[in-house]
A and B are shown apart, each in its own frame.
Chain A
């Protein structure tokens, strides 16, 4: 079964860091760009950027530079989102997603990882 499997919810204090993982199952992680999408509770979807899974080159959307880092470990078919210097406004569900069908839309999504930032 084709899936993207994300790591579990995280509770972090302001200023801490978090690393969210996204593991491809039933398909190859490579050959498809891996996107990250943020959803603040009760709000809409926001594209954070993507990582080229062939060469590891990341592209960050405006507003997601500096504290956000995309990375890969192709040996375990996994992509990662690391956020440093966490702020309360980083509280959100973070999704990984790819476009295996090359449709332009995101046809495969992880289940989402809730990152809660609270003192």
Chain B
């Protein structure tokens, strides 16, 4: 199985800050990464797939990049509603596997 190592596990940031979350895969997963946002008590929400493709309805302040084994999610200009836990997931091979999550908290 492909392991996804996500970092950091948590971070504190202020409204308006730009933040970056990284996922490293245990093997190359060409552009096959999805990113999710999860707020307490709710289901995950798909933000991006294919490493860089924004899911319909997701604000453009969310963006993704990367290649090979390393991928990043960037949130430019954090908004109050963005504070949540974020997960990466590889969709290159089965089983799909998730990172451990990054909790973005208000500083």
Which A residues form the contact surface with B (CB < 8 A)? 44-47, 49, 59, 61-62, 95, 97, 101, 103-107, 109-112
Contact = CB atoms under 8 A, between A and B. Distances in A.
Contacts, number: 62
A66 to B, nearest CB: 17
Main DSSP-derived SS at the B contact region:
loop
A45 B87 contact: yes
Contact of B46 (A46, A47, A62, A107): A107
A110 B89 contact: no
Nearest to A110: B43
Interface residues of B, number: 25
B44 A109 contact: yes
B50 interface: yes
B24 to A, nearest CB: 16
Interface in B77-100: 87, 89, 91, 94-100
A45 to B, nearest CB: 4
Sorted from nearest, which 8 A-B pairs have the closest CB atoms?
A: A105-B34, A104-B91, A109-B43, A105-B49, A103-B49, A45-B98, A105-B46, A107-B46
A111 B91 contact: no
15 contacts: A44-B98, A45-B44, A45-B87, A45-B98, A46-B98, A95-B44, A101-B49, A103-B49, A104-B49, A104-B91, A105-B48, A105-B91, A106-B34, A109-B45, A112-B42
Main DSSP-derived SS at the A contact region:
loop
Contact of A44 (B34, B43, B45, B99): B99
A18 to B, nearest CB: 19
Given A61-B95, A112-B43, A44 B49 contact: no
Contacts of B94: 59
Nearest to B87: A45
B40 to A, nearest CB: 10
A103 B95 contact: no
Nearest to A63: B95
Given A95-B44, A107-B49, 14 more contacts: A44-B99, A45-B98, A45-B101, A46-B98, A61-B95, A103-B53, A105-B55, A105-B91, A106-B34, A106-B44, A106-B89, A107-B46, A109-B43, A112-B42
